[in-house]
Structure 1
Amino acid sequence: MKLSAYPAFTATAFTSRLAYRNQVWSGMFGELVATFAFIAVWTAAFVGRGTVDGVTLPDMVTYVIIAGPLLNWNTTRYIREVGDAIRTGDVTTFLLKPLHYPALLFFNQLGNNAFEQLSITLPVAVIVALAVGLLPPASVAHGLLFLAYWVVSWSMMFLIATLTAMLAFWLLTAFALDWFLRGIMAVASGAVVPLWFMPAPLAAILGYLPFAWVSYYPSAVYLGKLDLPAASLHLAIGCIWLATLVGILTWLWSRMRHRLIVQGG
């Protein structure tokens, strides 16, 4: 199948989500509650303190808004759908079609996330920003770099989630994989606690793992916690990680195709 045909899967995934309006309201409510809860925790932590390690309360509120709604890529539905396709054997039908299964997943998930960003994430971010305030980017250059990091963040999360979901070929279920990934991401991506508040040895390790490019680095760049040379360097490292994960996924899918053929005769 030609690459130009794949965007049709994005459009289909986006429009299909329009039929589940109740999920939009419940998702928006849940995101609002979680975001305000994190803000309340950091507000309590900063009581009586102007700054902590050079970080102010407005910095942390902005960090929560960015690392929360804007960069909180929900992969639960995606991982479980891939897991169900593997468990039921439906994934074998893609071997009979002139398409690349990981590419199909990419464009399908792109449509799902575009819907969630427009219908849930942006409204929640606007509501929270109006209620508690949102700092602007540290500079125009930092703002532009943040947009590039935002693309890297989504791509990194998609690849990590896909590699995790592919483990269902061996486990034959994706239920535990979803919980495992969410636990890892909560700590390693800096979504709950920024790396600058973690012990230096742990932060140094996590700072070079791909998870940090999902939440921590985009938020840190927006706030100007990285100067422009460092932000550009880490963006390049993030792109190297993306290329590496694409290579791993390509290799893993080739192995899994043979596994399916052997199991299916």
Structure 2
Amino acid sequence: MRAGAYPAFALTAFQSRLAYRNQVWASAFGELVISFAFIAIWTAAFAGQVVVDGATLPEMITYVMIAGLLYWNTDRLINDVGEAVRTGDITIFLLKPLSYPASLLATHFGHYVFDQLVVTLPVLLIVGFSVGLLPPASLFHALMALPFWALSWLMLFTLGALCGLLAFWLLTAFALEWFLKGIMALASGAIVPLWFMPGWLSGILGYLPFAWVSYYPTAIYLGKLDPPATFLYFGIGLAWLAALGGFLAWLWSRARHRLIVQGG
């Protein structure tokens, strides 16, 4: 019975977004402007050169579109947790036979599906028809890009939820989203691929969980990793997800204890 309740959270979140059509149009337009801005920057950076550090301009345009759009905005997730802590609504979940992290997962999966269908897909179609996007490097890379995509979202959700739960100790989520954005801007490869970074820096960032959010799914799509390396990094990503998921469960158990103590 508990498991059957979580799809309702996802469906409710999806349907709630339909009520704010103007906000949807504004988000799609803003995403489109940002996408063309990044395309213009990379076109200027290549300055007519065919290949730069082993990457072509069409590859970089495809990379910046996929990597940037994979980096789902976690502001809503972090602020939802912060607001629940601030108002005390978080106590409701202590009275329900439901897991608060699991309900967050379901709710924000609904938001994510809505964003992908209503914002991301139209932007990709417009850019694809106007500028052009590369297809997957091979059938293998196309098939492997799908589990990496799922891993990407789960990794980003877990990182966002961990930041959100810090509100139990800070008593506010203010600036937590900026903290995560700052790290992700550099470490996820959403803006600059790791192959353009100094060897020592890319070597470090390539083994941190942030790289599985944008860099590895896009690198797989473009064929930058061969099959053995693809399976290796997928396994490492799963290990990171399991470790972060365990840490999230532990942090929630500590947050619940802290909430009960504060509430008397």
Partner of 1:175, secondary structure, is coil
When the two chains are superposed, the root-mean-square deviation of aligned CA atoms in Å is 0.8
| Structure 2 Cα separation of the partners of residues 130 and 186 of structure 1 | 27
1:87 matched residue in structure 2: 86
Letter in 2 for 1:6: Y
2:151 matched residue in structure 1: 152
| Structure 2 Cα separation of the partners of residues 132 and 10 of structure 1 | 34
The list of structure 1 runs, each at least 4 consecutive aligned residues, that deviate by more than 6 angstroms after superposition, is none
Does 1:236 pair with 2:235?
A: yes
- The C-alpha deviation readout for 1:19-52, integer Å capped at 9, x for no partner, is 0111110100110011111110000011131111
| Structure 2 Cα separation of the partners of residues 25 and 78 of structure 1 | 21
Q: Where does 1:42-121 land on structure 2 (aligned, <5 Å)?
A: 42-69=42-69, 71-121=70-120
TM-score by length of 2: 0.98
| Structure 2 Cα separation of the partners of residues 17 and 99 of structure 1 | 23
Deviation at 1:4, TM superposition (A): 2.1
Deviation at 1:121, TM superposition (A): 0.7
Letter in 2 for 1:60: M
| Structure 1 Cα separation of the partners of residues 211 and 166 of structure 2 | 22
For these two proteins, the number of residue pairs brought into alignment is: 264
2:2 matched residue in structure 1: 2
Deviation at 1:101, TM superposition (A): 0.4
2:253 matched residue in structure 1: 254
Deviation at 1:232, TM superposition (A): 1.1
| Structure 2 Cα separation of the partners of residues 192 and 109 of structure 1 | 24
2:14 matched residue in structure 1: 14
- The C-alpha deviation readout for 1:63-122, integer Å capped at 9, x for no partner, is 0110122x0301111211111101111101110111110010000000011111100011
Q: Where does 1:66-215 land on structure 2 (aligned, <5 Å)?
A: 66-69=66-69, 71-215=70-214
Deviation at 1:216, TM superposition (A): 0.2
| Structure 2 Cα separation of the partners of residues 180 and 244 of structure 1 | 21
Unaligned runs of 5+ in 2: none
Letter in 2 for 1:150: W
TM-score by length of 1: 0.98
| Structure 2 Cα separation of the partners of residues 15 and 59 of structure 1 | 36
Letter in 1 for 2:119: I
| Structure 2 Cα separation of the partners of residues 240 and 132 of structure 1 | 37
Unaligned runs of 5+ in 1: none
| Structure 2 Cα separation of the partners of residues 235 and 126 of structure 1 | 28
Partner of 2:175, secondary structure, is helix
Q: Is the 8 A contact 1:65 1:129 kept in 2?
A: no
| Structure 1 Cα separation of the partners of residues 223 and 253 of structure 2 | 41
Letter in 1 for 2:243: T
Partner of 1:191, secondary structure, is coil
